[in-house]
Structure 1
């Protein structure tokens, strides 16, 4: 079915209540056989010290024949009084890798056993179990080969190495242009722990010295600090991604009513009026004091504009007119100096000048497609 422009759209949600929460959606501990020096207590303790809000450890299910509940989840170290810990695993199948995410334990064995089933059977199983299906690193060697109709979100920034993600972002743009509303996230996909002794850190080694918790960091705007609210916001695309937790969070808003009030944010979808819409990009927290950041605006897979933030306000505004008879989306990418990440000292060089990116703001999208 080709998505049509809907006759009517739900009203925009009110933004008076909500909070930004940060975390990492893709981690491996010692229960993945290709992980080293990375027990759960090490990962969780690290995230707690950095003030993260949520985390999930997604071990490879193929390493334990699908029995993640008896390994990763049953590990007494999988607990925290500070973090919201999700339940999940990385479905590791011939057609690619998928992070299965849930607020509470679910029957992952059934998903593992059905990993080679037809996509429509997997869709039925996903819906029955009530889990979130997130496409992992779609362009990497373990590419995403399942139907995009299964995906609730997509990992467009995997590990601290930014260049390896550029084609994944293009693939996401392709899906957005086709009419799909797919929330984007990051995930460090870290497999190895950083040595306790800084003298043992090898600069040439990516894993363990340049890629760990928060490279990248995914910021979620959730209605409240609960796991269901966070997953709902991820699916809705109310999220942005920063290369590390010390870089600024990018927030993206639009004033569709033309009254000076920004009534749309990332993930929102509205019918355009035919009048110009004012957009605002804000960089919040972190970063380099006084630095100028370059903001690239992407509209319908093409570059619409490039601007530089004001050093004082750390924001930019632009105006464009989404047409009433067409479907369109806008998102932004932010480049500039990398904020140091002292706990993961070699991550900055891997991310180059890519600092952050946003999810889209949509116009005339069919939310049921």
Structure 2
């Protein structure tokens, strides 16, 4: 952390401004600003705001003594966005008391890797979710999630209402819902111009359009037992495959088998999961959960981790988990891999799966387990099962 402290006493008179410059590098993830001035009988009134590259990014008067900025969220009254560049704390001296002074602290918090948990498939009242965006966000945050994607069917209206100041990152999205399958477009408020697909060929065209615009594209529940929900097109123009949708069922087993087949063919397709939450289907956000190792706590960082396969699909946001050791990450290439598993129950089956299929089976005897693996095939990944129910699927580590 970089910290700057200022004690300002040489303030101008009433109805004036003071600017305190500071520079933010590309390695900074969060800006925090705190200030204090004498009020009450001293009679000072000193407002505050911040400017970035000569343009105001917000102003809150003297309402708050502590402010923060990040790429995707900021204190009320301020605009989130890029952080790098020249900044100024702007003080507005409304009234100069007899002994006016300001104590100002600027803290620059660098980017650090972190494991975040979230849900990449959910709905609101803007399609058939049955609940307002604020309710959905509060419910997901109360369930321990760090992020939630809003993926209403063929609409982006929900993305205009994303409140980013409630402790959870809301990822703008849309579920392209066609007669030939469903796919999520994540990360953009308006990923495509027109969602309508009149022919099967239109579906990959829309996917390519969204991807070209910068969206992360995930094919959803490819074997869902409905005419429109079942994937009926080619597996092109996408970044990840949803292998676990809602409660574990037959269509998820088929998606898992398809994913394994793709991996064995050498296609480096990351896996995701999603609750596909609707108020009427009695599911819970984060069941299943995506647990991702991110480079930065931002929507950009989360979706980059999705595309690179930097995580696992878990039954819950805070239960069974696996971590590579010695700086290795899921999605990396290696010849050996040390893994640590936690949240196990006695009798859980830990399966080691390669391009050839299941390679080894370990039975948990304690809550934790360590594995030392040698890659003799194109990849290795881990599955944890508790009876007929899965607890965890890791993305692969690839052979070097």
If the length of structure 1 is used for normalisation, what is the TM-score? 0.70
Pair 1:94 & 2:144 matched: no
- For the Cα contact (< 8 Å) 1:119–1:147, is it kept in 2? no
Pair 1:316 & 2:374 matched: no
Alignment of 1:82-231 (within 5 A): 82-102=167-187, 104-112=188-196, 116-117=200-201, 121-122=205-206, 124-141=208-225, 142-192=229-279, 207-208=281-282, 211-231=283-303
Counterpart position of 2:40: none
Counterpart position of 2:116: 21
Pair 1:264 & 2:328 matched: yes
- For the Cα contact (< 8 Å) 2:127–2:153, is it kept in 1? yes
Q: Name stretches of at least 5 consecutive residues in structure 1 with no aligned partner.
A: 1-15, 62-67, 194-206, 254-261, 338-351, 365-369
Distance 1:192 1:127 in 2: 30
Distance 1:181 1:94 in 2: 27
- For the Cα contact (< 8 Å) 2:122–2:151, is it kept in 1? yes
Distance 1:77 1:123 in 2: 23
Distance 1:268 1:230 in 2: 17
Q: CA 1:248/1:58 → structure 2, altered by over 3 Å: closer, same or farther? A: same
Aligned pairs, number: 287
Shift of 1:317: 1.5
Deviations 1:132-174 (A, max 9, x none): 1101011213122333231201110100224431110000111
- For the Cα contact (< 8 Å) 1:47–1:213, is it kept in 2? yes
Pair 1:280 & 2:352 matched: no
Greater share of residues in strand: 2
Alignment of 1:65-76 (within 5 A): 68-69=155-156, 71-74=157-160, 76=161
Shift of 1:235: 0.5
Counterpart position of 1:8: none
Distance 1:358 1:155 in 2: 13
Q: Which has the higher contact order (CA 8 A, sep 6+)?
A: 1
- For the Cα contact (< 8 Å) 1:308–1:316, is it kept in 2? no
- For the Cα contact (< 8 Å) 1:329–1:360, is it kept in 2? yes
3-state secondary structure, aligned to 1:82: coil
Deviations 1:228-266 (A, max 9, x none): 11101101001101112242222245xxxxxxxx35321
3-state secondary structure, aligned to 1:126: helix
Shift of 1:93: 1.0
Distance 2:370 2:115 in 1: 20
Please say which structure displays the higher CA radius of gyration.
2
Q: CA 1:21/1:168 → structure 2, altered by over 3 Å: closer, same or farther? A: same
Deviations 1:323-362 (A, max 9, x none): 6xxxx1111111238xxxxxxxxxxxxxx53211111111
- For the Cα contact (< 8 Å) 1:106–1:129, is it kept in 2? no
Distance 2:189 2:124 in 1: 18
Shift of 1:107: 4.0
Shift of 1:220: 0.8
- For the Cα contact (< 8 Å) 1:251–1:283, is it kept in 2? yes
Alignment of 1:12-51 (within 5 A): 17-33=112-128, 35-36=129-130, 38-51=131-144
- For the Cα contact (< 8 Å) 1:72–1:78, is it kept in 2? no
Shift of 1:188: 0.4
Distance 1:359 1:188 in 2: 18
3-state secondary structure, aligned to 1:108: coil
Counterpart position of 2:385: 335
Given candidates 296, 308, 312, the residue that maps to 2:351 is: 296
CA RMSD of aligned residues (A): 2.6
Distance 2:266 2:251 in 1: 25
Distance 2:231 2:356 in 1: 20
3-state secondary structure, aligned to 2:302: helix
- For the Cα contact (< 8 Å) 1:137–1:158, is it kept in 2? yes
Greater share of residues in helix: 1
